Amino acid sequence: MANGVIELNESNFEETVANGVVLVDFWAPWCGPCKMQTPILESQVAGQVEGKAVVAKVNVDDNRNLAVKYSVKSIPAIFIFKNGEVVKQFTGLQKGADLVAAIEEAQ
């Protein structure tokens, strides 16, 4: 991934979300709204929360166990984690300002 957004998978997910605030976007390459969400994360969210939170993506096709663990039924599904716990969830295309506000609220 680029522009401050990292790619998570089953081997690095738990370690990454364990500490601090992490936004995780569950997505798939074939999902239209997911393709629209990525540039929002890269251009509107990642830069504003740099140093305060991690912005990450999980491809649900490649990481089905994570999608099942978090009961992802519709994508994009965005989860805000704080110290390993889910503190907020969104489903569907989200505005950058709403995601930044949720991250700041989770601080």
Burial class (CB in 10 A: 0-12, 13-18, 19+), 44: middle
Per-residue model confidence as pLDDT tens for the chain (107 residues): 567 999 999 999 999 999 999 999 999 999 999 999 999 999 999 999 999 999 999 999 999 999 999 999 999 999 999 999 999 999 999 999 999 999 999 99
Catalytic residues: 31, 34
- Number of domains the chain is built from: 1
pLDDT for residue 2: 60
Any domain includes 36: yes
pLDDT for residue 3: 79
Domain that holds residue 37: 5-93
9 neighbors 63 (Cβ within 8 angstroms) = yes
Q: Give the CATH number, domain containing residue 13.
A: 3.40.30.10
* CA proximity to 90, closest of 106, 74, 66: 74
How would you classify the pairing of strands 5-8 and 77-82?
Answer: unpaired
Any domain includes 59: yes
